[in-house]
Amino acid sequence: RNQPDGFMADPDIMDTWATSSLTPQIACGWGDDHDLFQRTFPMDLRPQAHDIIRTWLFSTMVRGNSGHDTAPWRNAALSGWILDPDRKKMSKSKGNVVTPAALLDQFGSDGVRYWAASGRPGTDTAFDEKEMKVGRRLAIKLLNASKFALSFGGDPGGEVHEPIDSAMLADLAALVDDATAAFESFDYARALERTEAFFWWFCDDYLELVKLRAYGEGGPAESAANALARALSTLQRLLAPFL
């Protein structure tokens, strides 16, 4: 270096992370909107892939610590890569990227969102149209179950006194606790998995068990109608982040 017949280092160095490392500050209005910056910085969550921990995450942390004496966000959630059917990372350079436009037309946004949400944080997720079909089926089932449950005009806050209805709602309350804990730890895939399992049990077993009673043919209908309305409201909110 710097010797005859050697080589000289380029004096101009461009740090590609110079502004990327300031993305939380820039997004929060640093230097432009003092009120917004005070209310939003540091941010709550940085979502990113695991391949840029030593670059983007590290650089952003250094700039936040040195410039503002704080971490730029409270949590960092690491996602994996999307893999092609041969279990290779999708990338533009390899030419194995699948754009979502045709998939959205074929399976709807619900099917694609369901597949994406099934990938656990920190793990790679394989591209799988079968999962999108499952998501589309789930969305259609939710629509049909909603129509059925709402047809009885139950009150979500109304009285529920039949043992089978109370037992279903108790299980649903436990699901809410489990899903809430999963969401708070950013494990959205577990929240979806648990909610989906309960929802299919609700449709396949509970709806069939209370159908006659809800129609008023097998005993008091009010408890069943109110339980259906309350469960539907809760399940719709649990599935709203995914569908």
Digit-coded pLDDT (tens) for 47-94: 998 888 988 999 999 999 999 999 999 999 998 888 877 778 877 788
What pLDDT is stored for residue 64 in this prediction? 96
Digit-coded pLDDT (tens) for 161-172: 989 999 999 999
DSSP 6: S
What pLDDT is stored for residue 219 in this prediction? 54
For residue 121, say if its preceding peptide bond is cis, omega within 30 degrees of 0. Answer: no
Cα gap 189→142, rounded to integer Å: 18
Q: Are 195 and 183 in contact (CB under 8 A)?
A: no
The DSSP string of 155-208 is -TTS---SHHHHHHHHHHHHHHHHHHHHHHTT-HHHHHHHHHHHHHHIIIIIHH
Give me the residues of the chain with pLDDT under 70, please.
214, 216-220
